[in-house]
Amino acid sequence: MARLHTRKHGRSKSRKPLDSVAKAEADKKEIEEIVVTYAKQGMKATIIGQKLKDEKKAGYLKPVLGKRLTVLMEEKGFKSDIPADLLDLMTKAVKMRKHLSSNHKDVYNTTRLQRVESKIWRLGKYYRSSGKLPAEWKYDPEQAALRIKEA
């Protein structure tokens, strides 16, 4: 698959090594309990997955759990109203806007901000069409700054 904002082509196909798909040291119930405790502490799914890989040597969680980590968290009641990748992009855009408010002549960062916001609009369009976001949801930089500040 090609890159979004460059002319380079990237790599395709999954290259998961068989060693990392091997069984984890912990069983399914123990991993679910750990996921719930971490989620109660307010951790994101990406951080929970990384901690499980480091502490419990659980390479990929889908073969162990039988489902993805985000699906498990939704079943346990830890679902956010905005998907994590969209929220991360919004956080990046808020930080860029804050930087640009004091550095007006940073042309490189203005183009980066345009690229990040175009990704936000594209992802928002996808999530609205797939039903993960409400149909009336729209990206607003000021509202995003307020949301990121409270989180």
Highest mean pLDDT among 23-27, 59-63, 99-103: 99-103
Looking at every residue in the chain, the average pLDDT score rounds to: 86
User: Which has the higher per-residue pLDDT, 12 or 132?
Assistant: 132
Q: Is residue 18 in a domain?
A: no
Do 112 and 134 belong together in one domain? yes
62 plus 88 within the same structural domain? no
Domain-located, residue 3: no
Tell me which of 49, 75, 101 is where a domain ends: 75
Q: What is the predicted pLDDT for the residue at 18?
A: 59
No. of helices (H) and no. of strands (E), the chain: 7, 0
- The structure's pTM equals 0.76
For residue 106, what are the contacts with CB-CB under 8 A and spacing of at least 6? 99, 100
Which range marks the domain in which residue 107 is found?
A: 84-150
Q: CA-CA distances (angstroms) from residue 139 to 50, 114, 116, 117, 148?
A: 29, 13, 12, 9, 13
When pLDDT is cut at 50, 70 and 90, the band that residue 81 belongs to is confident
